[in-house]
Every structure is written in C-alpha cells, then in structure tokens.
C-alpha cells in the first residue's frame, strides 16, 4: 500500500481556518478595483487576479459580481459605523454635562469623521463611483449610507432639543458636511505630501463652519 496522501481540495473551497482571511483579501482587492474603475469595468476574473486566488474562490466567498459589490459597501459601512458610533455616543453623553460639552463633542465627532475618511480614501472613491450613476444601485444608499446620516441627524436633533443649538434641517447640514469631507479626501489624492497640513487646516475650517453655523457670535464657552 502506497503512502497516505491528503485529498486535493477543490478550487474555491478553502480550509475553514483560511475562510475569513481569504474573504477579507478578496473584499480588499474588489474594493480597490470598484473604487478605481466602477461596477461595469470590473469582472470576477480581475478581482481573482488582484486577490491572488481563482475565480471559483471569489464566487465561493462572495457570490455574483453584484453580491460582491454589495459586500464591498457593507464592509466599508461597518468600519465607518463603528468609528462614528463611539463618537456619537460620547456626544450624546455630553448633553448631560452641559451645552459647552455638547458643542465640543460635535467638534470631536467631525474630527473622527475627517480622520476616518482621510485614512480610508477608498471609502470615498467607492461612493463617488456609485454616485456618478445615481439611479443605479440606489439600494446601497438605503442600506449603507442612510443609517450613518441618521446616526448624526439624531445627535443634532437631540442637541437642539437640549437647547445647545438651533438646527431646523439636520439632514441638510449632515449631507453638506459629508460632501465637504469627501471633497477634501479627493483633493488630498492629488497632493499626498501635504496630507498632515491639509488635515489640520480642514479640521480647523470645519470647526469654524460649525461655530459660524450654530454660534454666529462665537462660541460662548470660548469667552
């Protein structure tokens, strides 16, 4: 009887211990490709090549190309949600401390958002590609964009209810700030050498924007 040999694994069926890591590699590669080229210009074979696996492995972990596209947005959504949740929770807690603390917490929340997108520029690129065709894949916005908007809108409404500011249209304010930060990230892509300086200057700008929007006479707690 010859030496015992291990059965060969079928393509696309990694060992269970490899499954999570392989899926993450595939999603990382797919996110970069979709962000750079958009949905139509990316195929599963290109994703497989970028991830260093075969097409069957990509299909096994993510399904069809549409399902893979969805999974890329779900992945960046979870990361962004986790970053914002802690900051919004701290801002809600600050409402019990007083208006000055609540206002300061809004500045902190903006800093977290700016830092997150600047450190994850593919999040911006992925969304910008989606928004170039606003009527395609619009369901992605409902699942992976609207919940984050609502998270911050709820905070602004709660802060207004506490008397720390006046905010009649939180959805407009949040949308405007989100687009401003995405534009900031796009601008940095052309001049990475000045990233740290630009981050400081942009964060200072958004702080001034909030102060002018909510406290036109200057922040009361700064006097």
CATH code of the domain covering residue 16: 1.10.10
Q: Say yes or no: 78 and 176 in one domain.
A: yes
Q: Say yes or no: 19 and 86 in one domain.
A: no
Q: What is the pLDDT of residues 21-38, one digit of tens each?
A: 999 999 999 999 999 999
Q: Name the domain count of the chain.
A: 2
pLDDT at 20: 66
Residue 6 lies in a domain: no
Q: What is the pLDDT of residues 109-142, one digit of tens each?
A: 999 999 999 899 999 999 999 999 888 999 999 9
Residue 223 lies in a domain: no
Q: What would the DSSP string read from start to end of 21-50? A: HHHHHHHHHHHHHHHHH-STT--HHHHHHH
Q: Say yes or no: 21 and 52 in one domain.
A: yes
Taking the C-alpha atoms of residue 84 and residue 152, their distance in angstroms, rounded to an integer, is 8
CATH code of the domain covering residue 74: 1.10.357.10
Taking the C-alpha atoms of residue 146 and residue 155, their distance in angstroms, rounded to an integer, is 14
What average pLDDT score do residues 50-57 get? 96
Q: What is the pLDDT of residues 144-197, one digit of tens each?
A: 999 999 999 999 999 999 888 899 999 999 999 999 999 998 888 777 677 778
Domain span at residue 99 reads 70-216
Q: Say yes or no: 174 and 121 in one domain.
A: yes
Residue 222 lies in a domain: no
Residue 2 lies in a domain: no
pLDDT at 133: 87
Q: Is the pTM of this model over 0.85?
A: no
Q: Say yes or no: 114 and 151 in one domain.
A: yes
Q: Say yes or no: 51 and 141 in one domain.
A: no
Residue 100 lies in a domain: yes
Work out the pLDDT band at 18, boundaries 50, 70, 90: low
């Amino acid at each position: 009887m010859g030496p015992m040999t291990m059965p060969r694994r079928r393509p696309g069926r990694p060992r269970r211990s490899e499954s999570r890591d392989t899926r993450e590699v595939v999603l990382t590669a797919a996110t970069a490709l979709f962000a750079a080229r958009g949905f139509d210009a990316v195929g599963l074979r290109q994703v497989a090549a970028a991830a260093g696996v075969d097409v069957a492995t990509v299909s096994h972990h993510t399904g069809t190309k549409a399902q893979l596209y969805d999974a890329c947005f779900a992945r960046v959504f979870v990361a962004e949600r986790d970053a914002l949740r802690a900051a919004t929770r701290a801002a809600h807690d600050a409402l019990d401390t007083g208006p000055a603390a609540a206002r300061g917490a809004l500045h902190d929340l903006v800093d977290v958002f700016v830092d997150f997108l600047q450190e994850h520029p593919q999040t911006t690129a992925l969304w910008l590609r989606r928004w170039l065709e606003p009527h395609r894949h619009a369901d992605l916005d409902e699942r992976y964009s609207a919940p984050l908007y609502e998270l911050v809108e709820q905070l602004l409404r709660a802060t207004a209810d506490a008397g720390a500011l006046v905010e009649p249209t939180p959805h407009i304010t949040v949308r405007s700030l989100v687009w401003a930060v995405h534009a900031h990230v796009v601008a940095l892509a052309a001049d990475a050498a000045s990233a740290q300086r630009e981050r400081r200057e942009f964060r200072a700008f958004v702080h001034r924007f909030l102060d002018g929007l909510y406290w036109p006479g200057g922040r009361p707690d700064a006097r």
